[in-house]
């Protein structure tokens, strides 16, 4: 078992340069309200330094998303922090009230998940949406904002920006929408960006553009990033340090360069082995469960957007509930002996 506290201080030496961390997570544990002993996050400690990109990897269910949500104090109902704290500079996020948290979310700590398109307003073109964000940050005319929106699209690599600025979200590809949303999040100049599988599902070229955009901002402006990814190659290319999570714990924390040459934990070694595996054989399928399980369950969903006149709103989804079931559950597995190192 590695000593995480030792690893935290060892991994900081060349990064911190005497600077205080932007975000500091100390002995953070999260569990279900009903059972305080079943930890979902278990004693997590991690510091994020100015301009640093820390990558988090780990298997499904390791607690990566719950960690990101805890950093915004935005846990799903039924879960709560059982111990520890999170500090943003000198403010303890875990003890702020909802109003104070709202002034932090999106402005000081931005979160980008997998489906960025869902964050865009479907009934307004993207130019109008970018203008709105720009004008909420600086006093500029509509005309100036529109010109800035076009140059903004150019800068994030969207070709034919003059035409695209008038496009509605449904007219954008997933990659374009993801870049627009990330760039819009960056207009607020947050000090921390939480990117949770932000490039999952994008094709490789677009994923690289999105990641380049994030990395460029981290290097050139005052942005620190927690980059959650399934792919160790992403971490290797973009991050300064890597944190490996398993069962709600950080089991290894190291500088990426050190990790790539030698992994301290058995799980870290396992992940590296998988990452360097060239080809996998056809997956085998095992039927493991025949009971009905919910694929999707939606309860009393309401989604509103601001209307055209001040104070009005469009109710796009009004109290929708449904449940979709699948009769069987299948487990896809690749036998370890079928994987061949490169």
Ligand X SMILES: Nc1ncnc2c1ncn2[C@@H]1O[C@H](COP(=O)(O)OP(=O)(O)OP(=O)(O)O)[C@@H](O)[C@H]1O
Q: How far is the CB of 190 from ligand X (least distance, A)?
A: 21
- Compute the distance between CA of residue 140 and CA of residue 137 in angstroms, rounded to an integer: 9
Applying CB under 6 A, among 14, 34, 35, 60 the residue interacting with ligand X is 60
Binding flag, residue 199, Mg ion (CB under 5 A): no
Q: How far is the CB of 77 from ligand X (least distance, A)?
A: 7
Query: Considering CB distances under 5 to 8 angstroms, the limit depending on partner class, which of ligand X, Mg ion, none binds residue 76?
Result: ligand X
Query: Considering CB distances under 5 to 8 angstroms, the limit depending on partner class, which of ligand X, Mg ion, none binds residue 57?
Result: none
Backbone angles phi, psi at 315, to 5 degrees: -90, 95
- On the CB side of 91, CA atoms within 13 Å amount to 14
Which stretches does DSSP call E strand in the chain?
23-32, 41-48, 53-58, 79-88, 91-92, 109-112, 192-196, 224-228, 241-246, 249-255, 284-289, 293-306, 313-326, 329-333
Nearest to ligand X of 65, 209 (CB atom): 65
Binding flag, residue 61, ligand X (CB under 6 A): yes
Q: How far is the CB of 223 from ligand X (least distance, A)?
A: 22
**Tokens 């939480």 sit on residue:** 194
- Compute the distance between CA of residue 110 and CA of residue 294 in angstroms, rounded to an integer: 31
Query: Considering CB distances under 5 to 8 angstroms, the limit depending on partner class, which of Mg ion, ligand X, none binds residue 210?
Result: none
Binding flag, residue 37, ligand X (CB under 6 A): no
Q: How far is the CB of 130 from Mg ion (least distance, A)?
A: 28
Q: C-alpha distances in angstroms, 9 versus 140, 253, 254?
A: 45, 10, 10
**Tokens 């374009």 sit on residue:** 176
**Which region among 60-68, 141-149, 150-158, 204-212 touches ligand X (by CB under 6 A)?**
60-68
Q: How far is the CB of 56 from Mg ion (least distance, A)?
A: 10
Side by side, the strands of the sheet bearing 109-112 are 109-112, 192-196, 224-228, 53-58, 241-246, 249-255
- Compute the distance between CA of residue 266 and CA of residue 22 in angstroms, rounded to an integer: 30
Applying CB under 6 A, among 34, 37, 78, 296 the residue interacting with ligand X is 78
Nearest to ligand X of 221, 333 (CB atom): 333
Alpha-carbon dihedral angle through residues 291, 293, 295, 299, given to the nearest 10 degrees:
150
Residue 57-86 contact track with Mg ion, rule CB under 5 A, x = bound: -------xx---------------------
Query: Considering CB distances under 5 to 8 angstroms, the limit depending on partner class, which of Mg ion, ligand X, none binds residue 79?
Result: ligand X
Which residues contribute to the site for ligand X (CB under 6 A)? 32, 40, 58, 60-66, 76, 78-79
């Amino acid at each position: 078992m590695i000593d995480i506290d030792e690893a935290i201080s060892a991994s900081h030496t060349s990064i911190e340069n005497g600077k205080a961390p932007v975000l500091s997570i100390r002995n953070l544990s999260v569990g279900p309200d009903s059972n305080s002993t079943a930890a979902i996050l278990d004693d997590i400690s991690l510091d994020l330094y100015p301009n640093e990109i820390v990558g988090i990897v780990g298997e499904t269910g390791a607690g990566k998303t719950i960690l990101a949500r805890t950093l915004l104090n935005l846990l799903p109902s039924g879960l709560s922090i059982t111990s520890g704290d999170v500090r943003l500079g000198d403010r303890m996020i875990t003890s702020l009230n909802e109003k104070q948290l709202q002034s932090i979310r999106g402005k000081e700590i931005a979160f980008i998940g997998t489906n960025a398109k869902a964050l865009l307003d479907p009934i307004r073109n993207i130019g109008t949406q970018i203008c709105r964000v720009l004008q909420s940050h600086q006093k500029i005319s509509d005309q100036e904002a529109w010109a800035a929106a076009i140059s903004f699209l150019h800068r994030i690599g969207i070709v034919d920006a003059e035409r695209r600025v008038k496009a509605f979200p449904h007219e954008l590809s997933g990659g374009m929408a993801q870049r627009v949303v990330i760039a819009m999040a960056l207009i607020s100049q947050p000090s921390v960006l939480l990117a949770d599988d932000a490039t999952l599902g994008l094709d490789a070229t677009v994923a690289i553009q999105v990641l380049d955009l994030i990395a460029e901002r981290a290097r050139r402006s005052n942005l620190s990033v927690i980059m959650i990814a399934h792919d160790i190659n992403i971490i290797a290319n973009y991050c300064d340090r890597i944190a490996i999570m398993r069962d709600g714990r950080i089991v290894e924390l190291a500088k990426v360069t050190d990790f790539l040459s030698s992994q301290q934990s058995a799980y870290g070694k396992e992940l590296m082995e998988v990452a360097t595996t060239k080809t996998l054989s056809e997956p085998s399928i095992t039927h493991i469960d025949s009971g009905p399980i919910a694929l999707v369950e939606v309860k009393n969903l309401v989604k509103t957007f601001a209307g055209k006149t001040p104070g009005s709103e469009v109710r796009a989804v009004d109290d929708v509930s449904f449940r979709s079931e699948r009769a069987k559950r299948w487990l896809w597995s690749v036998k370890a002996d079928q994987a061949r190192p490169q």
